[in-house]
Chains A and B, each alone.
Chain A
Amino acid sequence: MSTNTDTGNTRNTDTAPPAAGNLSRRGFFMKLGILFNGFAAIVLALPLARFLLSSITRGRENGYLSWVQLGNVSNFPEGETRMATFRNPLVMPTDGKTVDTACWVRRVAGDQFQVFAINCAHLGCPVRWFPQSGLFMCPCHGGAYYRDGSRASGPPERGLFQYPYRIENGVLTIEAGQLPTPGDPVASLASEKPPCA
């Protein structure tokens, strides 16, 4: 019995599948259904993937970095290194205290500064400044840095991350907004470019 032409007898098409290469009407519709679902999946996958990757796509345009104020230049005595805190430029309603960030500000002389990220260049733990010995020490794995941020000892492979800075109307301003990590040292642009001031 031909299954292709017999539209009135559905039971026969179920029990007697056509030979290979001979597409039945229902088989055709099933394949069409799969295709249709694949189309729906692609239509949905694009916006969902865009949502899932939104934290990456924004960062690619450097949309996370902006200039934040650390306070008057006069707050930082010459030749000293002091902790300063700033609020991350991007704030979400549920962030709580996590958007408050610390950094170390070294006023070398006059308008010449170095602003170091608090994060160790090894694995991101908070480094502490010891003015007596002129060293930054990390509590996690024992990394140490000199007062100019260069590596002194321990596991870090590089010096401390530095934020680019400029001085606007006597206010120290840094370009921040992203966690510096060894593979993405966003905060170290200052070492590549000449200081703006």
Chain B
Amino acid sequence: MRLIKKIGEWFDHRLQLAAPIREAAGHRVPRSTASWFYVFGSAALTVFLLQLVTGILLALIYVPSAGEAWSSLQALNHQVALGWFVRAMHGWGSNFMVAIVLIHMVQVFLFGAHKFPRELTWIIGVFLLLMTLGMAFTGQVLRFDQDAYWGLGIGASIASRVPILGPFIVKLMLGGPIIAGATLSRFFALHVFVIPGMLIGFVCLHVLMVLKLGINEWPMPGRIVKRATYEAEYHALTSKDGEPFVPYAIWKDMFFAAFIILAVAACAFYFGPFGPTGRPDPTIIQTAPKPDYFFLWLYALLSLLPPSLETPFLLVVPPLAILGLILLPFLSGEGEKSWKRRPIAVVTVLMIAITLGTFTRMAQFTPWSPHMNAWSGDPVPDRYIHGTTALERQGALVFQVKQCRNCHSIGDEGGQRGPALDSVAVRLTQDQLIRQVIQGGGNMPAYGNNLSPAETTALVAFLETLHPTTQRPARDAARDLVVSESKSRSATQP
């Protein structure tokens, strides 16, 4: 023991680190902050360190070359001992990191920790969130499969819409005219050197500021933050009702950190690694690319926005949102900290969470995408062709062959892009059906050039049978009148 102590003293005499470490560990924190609500920051740091370790391990095998990346991932999954587990840890670690960073942000916001004097800590936190999302996107690209390839195309298409500079940004982003080897190499550089380097720097600043300014005290309703008095009040609080951070508060951080690491490992073990999906070969077009979990909301948004609003939305809203987050501590740097006295803050958080959650949920079953194989794969339910005439059956055939089914479901099978047609005859009269089929409209293509008159007649005859037995099909009363009048007129004529 004496030897160890001597060695330690030898090192510290040269490093001079023991004193500042002891000071940081023993700094007094308000007793109220030793709470399970205060563990998410350290948990984010834990997952980040875990990502560094698993990322370095993956880099031992991974080849950042467009020709070989996919094969090296296959080797990791199937040839290298526990390669699949390290890949799964890194993939699940990324999901956990984004989730924990978001939870940390919400907690910090609801506890008013962004207010004076911690404005800069919040702003650096906003940058850390953006870098975390940047890591998530570039990481998805490094999993160089079909989703990554077409995801890059989506990224390039969005970037190209920037006025004037768009085409240059695309070429800078892709490293050339197309998505190819140079693209993967530069995303590798971003994911492995540039963003992690910035992340390490900003994380150090972020933690240093928490140490120097002190952890945000538990917000009490009615305890107002004022620039003039806050720091003195905080100092009084920590000296009167404070405890040393180690061990008074840190044990909860440690427990939660270990829990998170085990949770990532459990997810990795049970669910396995993500992909890779098909080979990144642009000539294989039988694919429906989808982004990773944390960008699904954007995928949904891009499908649901009106076309004319899309570009302005993409170019204006994200910068405004980021600017809003950065300006937040300046707009509300003082005042109430407690969420109990900040109803607008609570409602805003709820609104954003519900919106993102809804979009994410929708993107999981993509009602806006045609089902490419519905026309050849999904059968017409028996009950829809039982007891029908030859013309109506011919119409059912036209319905399938002309890929109507790709966008319209019947019997709950088929695309959801257009309305389900199980009771279409109740909604549209014969004339309206013919018009809709031939001219399209309301986001439906016009089929006039692709259907012969005979096919249209058969198709509409089939569609007219699609109504519940208890409801009669829609009928244009005036039409019957006109038809009977013209009949009687032609009967009277010689």
Residues of chain B contacted by A96 (CB below 8 angstroms)? 65-68, 181, 280
Are A153 and B150 neighbours in the complex by a CB distance under 8 Å?
no
Are B154 and A102 neighbours in the complex by a CB distance under 8 Å?
no
B468–chain A nearest beta-carbon distance, Å: 28
Residues of chain B contacted by A155 (CB below 8 angstroms)? 302-303, 305, 307, 310
Q: What does the 1/0 interface line of A127-158 toward B look like (CB < 8 Å)? A: 11010111101111110101100001111110
B298–chain A nearest beta-carbon distance, Å: 11
Are A97 and B303 neighbours in the complex by a CB distance under 8 Å?
no
Are B158 and A123 neighbours in the complex by a CB distance under 8 Å?
yes
A81–chain B nearest beta-carbon distance, Å: 13
Q: Which of A88, A128, A154 contacts B178 (CB 8 A)?
A: A88
Are B285 and A55 neighbours in the complex by a CB distance under 8 Å?
no
Q: Which of B162, B178, B403 contacts A135 (CB 8 A)?
A: B403
Residues of chain A contacted by B449 (CB below 8 angstroms)? 134, 146-147
B177–chain A nearest beta-carbon distance, Å: 4
How many interface residues does chain B have, given as a range?
35 or more
Contact residues of B between 293 and 337, Cβ < 8 Å to A: 299, 302-303, 305, 307-308, 310-311
Residues of chain A contacted by B310 (CB below 8 angstroms)? 155, 157
Are B177 and A179 neighbours in the complex by a CB distance under 8 Å?
yes
C-alpha spacing A140/B149, complex, angstroms: 13
CB of A125 closer than 8 Å to a CB of B? yes
Are B289 and A125 neighbours in the complex by a CB distance under 8 Å?
yes
Are A178 and B282 neighbours in the complex by a CB distance under 8 Å?
no
Which of B154, B157, B175, B280 counts the most chain A CB atoms within 10 A? B157
Contact residues of B between 153 and 186, Cβ < 8 Å to A: 153-154, 156-162, 166-168, 170-172, 174-185
Residues of chain A contacted by B402 (CB below 8 angstroms)? 132-133
Query: Among A20-28, A67-75, A164-172, A180-188, which stretch is in contact with chain B?
Result: A180-188
Are B370 and A142 neighbours in the complex by a CB distance under 8 Å?
yes
Residues of chain B contacted by A97 (CB below 8 angstroms)? 66-67, 279-283
Query: Among B21-29, B104-112, B258-266, B437-445, which stretch is in contact with chain A?
Result: B437-445
Q: What does the 1/0 interface line of A58-92 toward B look like (CB < 8 Å)? A: 01000010000000000000000001010010101
C-alpha spacing A94/B181, complex, angstroms: 5
CB of A10 closer than 8 Å to a CB of B? no
Overall SS of chain B's interface: loop
Residues of chain A contacted by B170 (CB below 8 angstroms)? 179, 181, 183-184
Are A132 and B401 neighbours in the complex by a CB distance under 8 Å?
yes
CB of A126 closer than 8 Å to a CB of B? yes
C-alpha spacing A140/B150, complex, angstroms: 10
CB of A122 closer than 8 Å to a CB of B? yes
B68–chain A nearest beta-carbon distance, Å: 7
Are A152 and B440 neighbours in the complex by a CB distance under 8 Å?
yes
Residue ID in chain B nearest A129 by CB atoms: B285
Residues of chain A contacted by B280 (CB below 8 angstroms)? 96-98
CB of B450 closer than 8 Å to a CB of A? yes
C-alpha spacing A2/B287, complex, angstroms: 80
CB of B369 closer than 8 Å to a CB of A? yes
Residues of chain B contacted by A124 (CB below 8 angstroms)? 150, 153-154, 156-157
CB of A13 closer than 8 Å to a CB of B? no
CB of A110 closer than 8 Å to a CB of B? no
CB of B350 closer than 8 Å to a CB of A? no
Q: What does the 1/0 interface line of B394-407 toward A look like (CB < 8 Å)? A: 00000001111011
Residues of chain B contacted by A101 (CB below 8 angstroms)? 178, 282-283
Are A183 and B162 neighbours in the complex by a CB distance under 8 Å?
yes
Are A154 and B443 neighbours in the complex by a CB distance under 8 Å?
yes
CB of B228 closer than 8 Å to a CB of A? no
Check A94/B166 contact, CB under 8 A, given A122-B157, A126-B285.
no
Contact residues of B between 108 and 150, Cβ < 8 Å to A: 149-150
Are A135 and B445 neighbours in the complex by a CB distance under 8 Å?
yes
C-alpha spacing A156/B161, complex, angstroms: 13
Residues of chain B contacted by A118 (CB below 8 angstroms)? 282, 285
CB of A159 closer than 8 Å to a CB of B? no
CB of B372 closer than 8 Å to a CB of A? yes
Residue ID in chain B nearest A88 by CB atoms: B178
Residues of chain B contacted by A47 (CB below 8 angstroms)? none
A164–chain B nearest beta-carbon distance, Å: 16
Residues of chain B contacted by A179 (CB below 8 angstroms)? 153, 156, 170, 174, 177-179
Are B68 and A184 neighbours in the complex by a CB distance under 8 Å?
no
C-alpha spacing A49/B42, complex, angstroms: 38
Are A55 and B175 neighbours in the complex by a CB distance under 8 Å?
yes
Are A184 and B282 neighbours in the complex by a CB distance under 8 Å?
no
Are B370 and A139 neighbours in the complex by a CB distance under 8 Å?
yes
Q: A102-B283, A132-B450 are known; give 6 further A-B pairs, CB within 8 A.
A: A96-B66, A101-B283, A123-B158, A139-B369, A141-B303, A141-B368
Pairs A–B under 8 Å by Cβ, sample size 13: A88-B180, A92-B181, A98-B66, A123-B158, A139-B289, A153-B444, A154-B417, A155-B310, A178-B177, A179-B178, A182-B157, A183-B167, A184-B167
The 9 A-B residue pairs with the shortest CB-CB distance, nearest first, are A96-B67, A183-B160, A124-B153, A183-B166, A152-B445, A94-B181, A181-B160, A184-B167, A126-B285
